[in-house]
Chains A and B, each alone.
Chain A
Amino acid sequence: MRGCSAMPRTLVVAGNGPVGHRLVAALRDRDLTGGWRVEVFAEESRPAYDRVALTSYVDTWEPRALQLDGATYDGDDLVNLHLGEPVLSIDRAAKKITTRSGSTVAYDALVLATGSYPFVPPVPGHDLPGCHVYRTIDDLDAIRADAEKAGRGRRSALVVGGGLLGLEAAKALRDMGLSPHVVELAPRLMPLQVDEGGGGLLRNLIEKLDVTVHPGTGARSIEQDRGRLLATLGNGTELDVDLVVFSAGVRPRDDLARAAGLAVGERGGVAVGHDCVTSDPDIYAIGECACVDGTVYGLVAPGNAMAEVTADRLLGGQSTFERGDTSTKLKLLGVDVASFGDAHAATEGALEVVFNDAVSGSYKKLVVSDDAKTLLGGVLVGDAAAYPLLRPLVGRDLPGDPAAMIAPAGLRAVGVGALPDDAQVCSCHAVSKGAIGAAVAGGCADVPALKSCTKAGTGCGSCVPMLKQLLTAAGVEQSAALCEHFGQQRAELFEILRSTGIRTFSELITRYGSGRGCDLCKPAVASMLASLGGGHVLDGEQAALQDTNDHFLANIQRNGTYSVVPRIPGGEITPEKLMVIARVAQDFGLYTKITGGQRIDLFGATVDQLPAIWRELVDAGFESGHAYGKALRTVKSCVGSTWCRYGVQDSVRLAIELELRYRGLRAPHKIKAAVSGCARECAEARSKDFGVIATEHGWNLYVGGNGGFTPRHAELFVSDVSTERLLTIIDRFLMFYVRTADRLQRTAAWLEAMDGGLDHLREVIVADRLGICADLEAAMARHVESYADEWAGVLADPAKLARFTSFVNAPGTPDPTISFRSERGQPVPLGIPVAVGR
């Protein structure tokens, strides 16, 4: 089949959900000869997005944040995406489809990926205004509109259905500020995935989070009542709510297939074989609309597997879809829930091993074969840390006694070594243990490298702890030791310094390290001492620890000269101060350039010129900009509501306040920040370590962004907070980062490597789960209070000034190797002959 690209055949794809998109992406990836032209017909008006992550839409209300990679097919001439244009009928005899706008398109092959629709039980009043379903971005927009219409005060909502989707909906509603009630017909939550014991614990954990659960009953009626809704439950309970969300399961969308006379399953779904082909050999069905052996899979992983099979078959392959993996692990309202394999012990002779700890709030069950040797499935609630190790073992021999494996710390003892090479570690991207081992052997030395190389860990993220274990097992050191002189990590050394009160490098290395130190540990310890309020960075022994930039309080450039960056908070500067900078540059013959952080960099200063330059700058009211330090750099801002006709908050004022608050803060790496005055985001705050974006009601805070080599968008951390609350959260966030990150680890990488990721960070910083927030705030208060300009400190101290000499035996003699030429009217370094590499 391959190679006949002269006249590509036409593939029509009806449906553009995640599975439809996966099919097109997989086909285009492998169809190297352009054998297929693809026409995609989508019902929704936006490119394919991640429906599994729908709940997170509430964090940003930004549809593009959910958009799947490559969903627009930009630049691919062989894919045409028709948005808002669903297929309405199929003419199998003529091999043509007709769309909503009336166009007909002939196909050589047709793939049905129409997904499913939410099932709404026929409760009286189910179609009243204020009643919703939960499946698309448009559904969430409609829910939000109703939530905002609801008056102030205690607002509440009813969720009909306590399955996975219902609990997701409850979370979204809670994040919108409503108190959710969840009603579930079954006697427990998540009846499909979780057994009775797990369901009981799940309910306890979730009710602590302001969600009321009504199990074993349904919604009897919904009526309008004084501008709100009155919901009556089957057990007689009456609830006053502002809106109702139905999430009582989904049904396959097989109407198109039925109308075309294709075979359907007994309980719905387009019947397909293991080749994903329907009763018409030219028509395939995949995902939630398909029915394989009587089973309709309502999860994305089996759908993706069907998409891969179909792509392969369209290109002449013979792969088959065997059995969908219905394993699930998710965090519902902060509670870990995992279910895998035969969770309900349906296999004949299956045995259950249960570990239930109501005190610590964890429930674990393993289902094993009758000889207790083979793992068949399991349920984990409250603590699902064992999931990534257990799921790949389903259908295989257990490496130990099942009871021991779910006992606390039992799995740690078993470890990743128990997995065979073909076991899937990352089920989202089907990455095996062997593939990860190969990537490690090929040079991937940390989790971020493995993520970009193998895609493992980039889906749900549940396998990240396994990736770390695999790296360790392969002998790749996991940033444990700071350097050859200290076996501790940076965070451990920070705690040592904090608790022992040691404030010199020599005492630290004598008591906790070995040797004399090096260019890795010395600046790292100097930075920690500075973060702990160690006084001027050039005081006493500290001076010898500093990298050349911190030692001369300027940035070294390629010819050994330095650049000077005075602080310009928020990028706001008076003409008078601009003239001072201009005069200094002119007097000292410095090259000037505007930086990305909205300030001005002056290049070409020699060591002995630095004090004279700074004397003029300090006298004019400037202070160090810390451009040379692993420290807060700038807080960039747009012009904000003062001038901008779109601005909703005064971004400049906040940027200045933040920059002055955190100036001089030494950290594991540099810290960049920005404030935008409206959602247009002109300050590019989402590329910063922390970025603030104004809303109508306050500020949204984003954390963990990065430009540079590995760009990463900052993620929404808290929304619509007041300025006061914002400062408290940033105080905690920055101090937690300063204390716990590795050496030279930006916030983005710190967050990537953190177990539990953003959710965990939010629990620590916002919910204060570790009870350390008061301490973090106090530490930041000490920093703010003790801040003093480093350059003013140098100018006031003759001993420090004495170090700024070109030659110890000829002070004032310029370095003869430094010379300049002119380029575009400014001085630039004259090339120096390099001895090595000739």
Chain B
Amino acid sequence: MTAVEVWTPVCALADLLPDRGVAALLSGAEQVAVFFTGGEVYALSNMDPFSGAAVLSRGIVGDVGGVPVVASPMHKQHFDLRTGSCVDDPTVRVPVYPVRVRAGTVQVGRP
């Protein structure tokens, strides 16, 4: 791959509460929701596709049939943290962002 990798540091891993999300701002007014659950860090678009509001980072994190999900705080649709796919309506998907932890810092890449 020749594409230039862009990683934006968003916060310290220690800043993330287990099973809770935070919102982070990327360049160009893009918002991501970053979650820390089950020892893994996930990043999705913060935009709830059903309501159009940037709120997914404020949803409750849990699992549906073992799939790690966040529930939109607006109308409770569940999104797979790994794929962004909506569990309740598979035709809907939110963008997933690559995420990694370097030296205790959480970094988000381009989708």
Per-position 1/0 for A819-838, Cβ under 8 A of B: 00000000000001111110
Q: A518-B62, A560-B55 are in contact. Are A813 and B25 (CB under 8 A)?
A: yes
Alpha-carbon distance between A92 and B18 when the two chains are bound, in angstroms:
87
A522 touches B (CB below 8 Å): yes
Which of A518, A556, A809 has a CB less than 8 Å from the CB of B60?
Answer: A518
* CA–CA, A547 and B62, complex, Å: 12
B25 touches A548 (CB 8 A): no
List, in ascending order, chain A residues with CB within 8 A of B24's CB: 807-810
Shortest distance from the beta carbon of A603 to any chain B beta carbon, whole Å: 14
B65 touches A807 (CB 8 A): no
Inter-chain CA distance A484–B87, complex, in Å, is 15
Q: How far is the CA of A559 from the CA of B34 in the complex (A)?
A: 20
Query: Does B64 sit within 8 A of A, measured CB to CB?
Result: yes
Interchain CB contact under 8 A, A832 and B52: yes
Check B37–A516 contact: CB distance below 8 A: yes
Q: Which of A522, A546, A809 contacts B62 (CB 8 A)?
A: A522
What residues of chain A lie closer than 8 Å to B101, measured between beta carbons?
none
Quote the shortest CB–CB distance from A352 to chain B (angstroms).
56
Establish whether residues B18 and A544, one from each chain, have CB atoms under 8 Å apart when the complex forms. Answer: yes
**Across the interface, do A552 and B25 meet the contact criterion of CB distance under 8 Å?**
no
Residue in B15, B29, B68 whose CB lies within 8 Å of A808? B15
Chain A residues lying within 8 Å of B65, measured Cβ to Cβ, are 484
**A795-826, CB < 8 A from B:** 806-810, 813, 815-818
Chain B residues with a Cβ closer than 8 Å to the other chain, count: 44
Report B71 CB to chain A, min CB distance, Å.
Answer: 4
Interface residue SS majority, chain A: loop
Chain B residues near A543 (CB-CB < 8 A): 17, 20
Q: What distance in Å separates the Cβ of A563 from its nearest Cβ neighbour in chain B?
A: 14
Q: How far is the CA of A49 from the CA of B99 in the complex (A)?
A: 70
- Contact (Cβ within 8 A) A523 B60: yes
Q: Mark B1-23, 1 if CB is under 8 A from A, else 0.
A: 00000001111000101111011
Given contacts A556-B73, A809-B24, contact A815 B64 (CB under 8 A): no
A575 at the interface (CB under 8 A from B): no
- On chain A, the number of residues with a Cβ less than 8 Å from chain B's Cβ atoms is 40
Cα–Cα, bound, A559→B73 (Å):
12
For window 29-68 of chain B, which residues contact chain A by CB distance below 8 Å? 29, 31, 34, 37-38, 47, 49-55, 58-66, 68
The verdict on A558 contacting chain B, using a C-beta distance below 8 Å, is yes
With A558-B51, A560-B54 as contacts: A807 and B29 at CB distance below 8 Å:
no
**Number of A-B residue pairs with CB-CB distance less than 8 Å in the complex they form:** 113
Q: Is the CB of B54 within 8 A of A817?
A: yes
Q: Quick one: closest B residue to A815, CB to CB?
A: B54
Known: A808-B23, A810-B25. A552 touches B54 (CB 8 A): no
A519-B76 contact in complex given A548-B59, A809-B25, A813-B25, C-beta closer than 8 Å = yes
Q: Does A551 contact B (CB under 8 A)?
A: yes
B58 in contact with A551 (CB, 8 Å):
yes
A788 to B: closest C-beta gap in Å: 22
Q: Are B53 and A808 in contact (CB under 8 A)?
A: no
Q: A544-B19, A806-B23 known; A515 and B11 CB under 8 Å? A: no
Closest Cβ of chain A to B15, distance in Å, is 6
Asked if A807 and B25 sit within 8 Å, CB to CB, the answer is: yes
Contact assessment for B52 and A835 in the assembled complex, using a CB-CB cutoff below 8 Å: yes
Please name all residues of chain A whose beta carbon is closer than 8 Å to the beta carbon of B52 when the two chains form the complex. 832-835
Task: Give the complex CA separation of A551 and B19 in angstroms.
Answer: 13
* Residue from the set A485, A546, A836 with the largest chain B CB neighbour count within 10 Å: A836
Contacts of B18 in A (CB 8 A): 541, 544
Chain B, 54-106, CB within 8 A of any chain A CB: 54-55, 58-66, 68-69, 71, 73-74, 76, 78, 89, 92
Contacts of B19 in A (CB 8 A): 516-517, 544
Say whether A836 contacts B49, CB under 8 Å: yes
Chain A residues whose C-beta falls within 8 Å of the C-beta of B69 in the assembled complex = 518
**Which residue of chain B has the shortest Cβ distance to A836 in the bound complex?**
B49
- Say whether A834 contacts B64, CB under 8 Å: no
Contact A556 B71 (CB under 8 A): no
Q: Which residues of B contact A549 (CB under 8 A)?
A: 73
Question: Are A516 and B73 in contact (CB-based, < 8 A)?
Answer: no
Instruction: Say yes or no: A808 contacts B51, CB within 8 Å.
Output: no
Contact with B along A518-555 (1 / 0, CB 8 A): 11011100000000000000000101111111011000
**Docked-complex contact A834 and B71, CB < 8 angstroms:** no
B11 pairs with A516, CB closer than 8 A: no
What residues of A have a CB within 8 angstroms of the CB of B64 in the complex? 484, 518
Chain B residues whose C-beta falls within 8 Å of the C-beta of A544 in the assembled complex: 17-20, 61
CA A835 to CA B91, docked complex, whole Å: 12
CB neighbours of A551 from chain B (8 A): 58
User: Which residues from chain B contact A518 at a C-beta distance below 8 Å?
Assistant: 60, 62-64, 69, 71
Report the separation of the CA atoms of residues A645 and B57 in the bound assembly, to the nearest whole angstrom.
Answer: 54
Of A516, A560, A815, most B-chain CB atoms within 10 Å: A560
Within the complex, which residue of B10, B17, B63, B73 is in contact with A548, where a contact is CB–CB below 8 Å? B73
CA distance A549 to B11 in the complex (A): 24
Residues of B within 8 Å of A546, CB to CB, are 60
- Name the 6 nearest CB pairs between A and B, nearest first: A548-B73, A560-B53, A518-B62, A519-B71, A832-B52, A834-B52
Can you list 6 contacts pairing A with B, beta carbon distance less than 8 Å? A516-B61, A522-B62, A548-B73, A810-B24, A817-B53, A833-B52
Beyond the given A548-B55, A834-B49, could you list 8 further A-B residue pairs with CB under 8 A, ordered by the A residue number? A515-B66, A519-B60, A548-B60, A807-B24, A808-B22, A817-B31, A834-B50, A836-B92
